Amino acid sequence: MKQKSIYVGSENPAKIIAVESVFTESTVYPQDVPSLVSAQPLSDEETLEGAINRAKACAAREDGVLGIGLEGGVMEFHNQVFICNWGALVDETGELYIAAGARFPLPEVFKQPLREGQELGDLMDQYTNKQNARKKEGAVGIFTDGQVTRDQMFSHVLHILKGQYQLSKKARS
Ligand SMILES: O=P(O)(O)OP(=O)(O)OP(=O)(O)OC[C@H]1O[C@@H](n2cnc3c(O)ncnc32)[C@H](O)[C@@H]1O
């Protein structure tokens, strides 16, 4: 039987598939909500903030639902640009859970365009000569030779969020 309704703050299929694959007992509703951060987050802080804003906006749409936000971004570390990923879940009591996903270095040629404000999604499409990698395997799929796709990467984040939520629910009951 289907249980909780889950509102996910995105219409990106890679993110929706990831949520459906982890919250199999729930009905998942994609929501068009603002991240309230830049289209290309440029730090862990900004990427996490985008995920939290999406989750909060989703949870606020209806009483009793779970709100989830997933956000991809980039950050600089050891003079390299890394892709970073964050997820946030707001439960029916308003409690917030957060989790980070995979992080790996992007090619050196991406550094300057990203610093100048270009979006990773566009750079990936130019680099691969394909369209909409962000909605499919993602940068992680391309740079791991298909070992880990974007939905698989986000599903790891979602398992961590789900586990934290379950534990908290058990503690409350
Ligand atoms: O529709 P939404 O949910 O906004 O999904 P998105 O993929 O466009 O947006 P994100 O906020 O997750 O990512 C911010 C930017 O980084 C890009 N990006 C992030 N992770 C990526 C990946 O794995 N592959 C390709 N582009 C990625 C993405 O295309 C955006 O330009």
pTM reported for the whole predicted model = 0.95
CA of 77 to the centre of ligand 1 (A): 20
CA of 92 to the centre of ligand 1 (A): 27
- For ligand 1, is residue 48 a contact (CB within 6 Å)? no
107: CATH: 3.90.950.10
Quote the pLDDT of residue 168: 97
Are the C-beta atoms of 35 and 9 separated by less than 8 Å? yes
Quote the pLDDT of residue 91: 97
Region of residue 34 (left: phi > 0; alpha: psi -120 to 50; beta: else)? beta
Mean pLDDT of the chain: 94
Candidate from 120, 125, 158 with most ligand 1 atoms within 8 A of CB, to mutate: 120
DSSP 8-state symbol, 1:
-
Nearest CA to ligand 1 atom 26: 121
Q: What is the mean pLDDT of residues 93-103?
A: 97
DSSP 8-state symbol, 96:
E
Domain count, the chain: 1
ipTM rounded to 2 decimals: 0.93
Quote the pLDDT of residue 162: 98
Q: Is the pLDDT assigned to residue 1 strictly greater than 50?
A: no
17-51 pLDDT, tens digit per residue, is 999 999 999 999 999 999 999 999 999 999 999 99
CA of 135 to the centre of ligand 1 (A): 8
- For ligand 1, is residue 40 a contact (CB within 6 Å)? yes
Domain enclosing residue 136, as ranges: 5-172
Q: What is the mean pLDDT of residues 58-66?
A: 97
Instruction: Round to whole Å and give the CA distance between 39 and 81.
Output: 17
Q: Is the pLDDT assigned to residue 2 strictly greater than 60?
A: no
CA of 52 to the centre of ligand 1 (A): 15
Instruction: Round to whole Å and give the CA distance between 59 and 66.
Output: 6
116-148 pLDDT, tens digit per residue, is 999 999 999 999 888 887 888 899 999 999 999
Helix/strand/coil for 65:
coil
